[in-house]
């Protein structure tokens, strides 16, 4: 008898990037039969209070809530491939987004995260289109303003006067751009003794329903919105094996027309996944299948 392969996947992401929503939708998807998934639940084990709680919120169109900094919930799943008997034991440490943010701001790494990293076979890096902070330069703001108002353009065309009086807002490390923070998170990972190369990393652009109308591929969207991160991943292709996904775990906004449409659907078909190699757009296990490959 062979042992069940163990897969430990890190869920990486800054606050409010969709990690917990992904887990909630996944926990539901692998236990339902209305829409096929590549991975299904083999058997329940351990304490499932946390995944059940976030799943119930997801089913009721309620926010799953943010995982507080001091709370690290491990979600463990005994799964099998729906197309065969191959089993897999998946463990996801649901590390809070605040905890990742603090790596950048406080320059400290929880020892528990180091342990997760040591055991990880791969990870999913979550990016939310609505929570991206761009490194906006003053002249870019001026250019935008000039597009709107000709008067501003005339003012800007006037040669600069003496240097401005120092009345600026002080620099705050917390306000650094998203791409810089994500690059630093990956650099920290790479530098840890526990890190194993090559590391499979699925890049999940969550709330993909917000982006989908633009008909852009997730990879191209990341290159457009987070060019520094895209360059970094490209420059380290032997360290990070990367696949890009657009994931709509919620299925839309929990209000207005979006919610009305979702209420007419079977829960599992609220989920939408796009990306290279995705064969079933409602299968949230697609990124996991790639990680397990």
User: From residue 199 to residue 238, what is the string marking binding to other proteins with x (rule CB under 8 A)?
Assistant: ------------------------x---xx--xx-xxx-x
Q: Which is nearer to other proteins, 139 or 276 (CB)?
A: 139
Q: Which is nearer to other proteins, 104 or 126 (CB)?
A: 104
Q: Is residue 139 involved in binding other proteins (CB under 8 A)?
A: yes
Q: Is residue 240 involved in binding other proteins (CB under 8 A)?
A: no
208 contacts 249 by C-beta, under 8 angstroms:
no
Q: Is residue 60 involved in binding other proteins (CB under 8 A)?
A: no
Q: Identify which of 269, 209, 270, 292 has the alpha carbon closest to the alpha carbon of residue 36.
A: 269
Q: Is residue 1 involved in binding other proteins (CB under 8 A)?
A: no
Q: Is residue 43 involved in binding other proteins (CB under 8 A)?
A: no
* Run of H or E including 91: strand 87-94
101 contacts 17 by C-beta, under 8 angstroms:
no
Of these, 32, 72, 81, 188, which contacts other proteins (CB under 8 A)? 188
DSSP string, 21-76: HHHHHHHHHTT-SSS--SEEEEE--S--HHHHHHHHHHHTT----PPPTT--EEEE
Contact residues toward other proteins (CB under 8 A) are 103, 105-112, 114, 135-141, 156-157, 159-160, 163-164, 167-177, 179-180, 183-184, 187-188, 191, 223, 227-228, 231-232, 234-236, 238
């Amino acid at each position: 008898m062979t042992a069940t392969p163990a897969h430990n996947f890190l869920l990486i992401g800054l606050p409010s990037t969709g990690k917990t929503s992904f887990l909630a939708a996944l926990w539901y998807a692998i236990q339902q039969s209305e829409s096929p998934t590549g991975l299904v639940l083999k058997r329940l084990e351990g304490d499932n209070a946390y995944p059940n709680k976030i799943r119930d919120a997801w089913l009721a169109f309620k926010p799953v809530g943010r995982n507080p900094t001091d709370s690290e919930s491990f979600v463990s799943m005994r799964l099998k491939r729906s197309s065969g008997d191959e089993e897999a034991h998946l463990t996801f440490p649901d590390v809070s987004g605040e905890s990742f943010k603090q790596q950048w701001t406080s320059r400290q790494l929880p020892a528990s995260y180091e342990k997760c990293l040591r055991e990880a076979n791969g990870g999913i890096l979550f990016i939310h289109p609505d929570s991206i902070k761009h490194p906006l330069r003053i002249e870019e703001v001026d250019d935008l303003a000039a597009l709107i108002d000709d008067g501003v353009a005339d003012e800007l065309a006037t040669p600069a006067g003496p240097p401005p009086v120092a009345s600026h807002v002080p620099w705050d490390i917390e306000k650094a751009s998203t791409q810089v923070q994500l690059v630093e998170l990956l650099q920290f990972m790479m530098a840890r003794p526990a890190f194993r190369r090559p590391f499979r990393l699925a890049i999940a652009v969550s709330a993909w329903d917000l982006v989908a109308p633009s008909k852009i591929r997730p990879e191209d969207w990341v290159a457009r919105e987070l060019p520094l991160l895209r360059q970094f991943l490209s420059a380290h292709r032997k360290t990070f094996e990367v696949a890009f996904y657009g994931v709509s775990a919620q299925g839309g906004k929990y209000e207005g027309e979006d919610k009305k449409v979702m209420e007419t659907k079977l829960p599992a078909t609220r989920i939408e996944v796009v990306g290279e190699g995705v064969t079933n757009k409602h299968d949230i296990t697609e990124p996991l299948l790639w990680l397990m490959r």
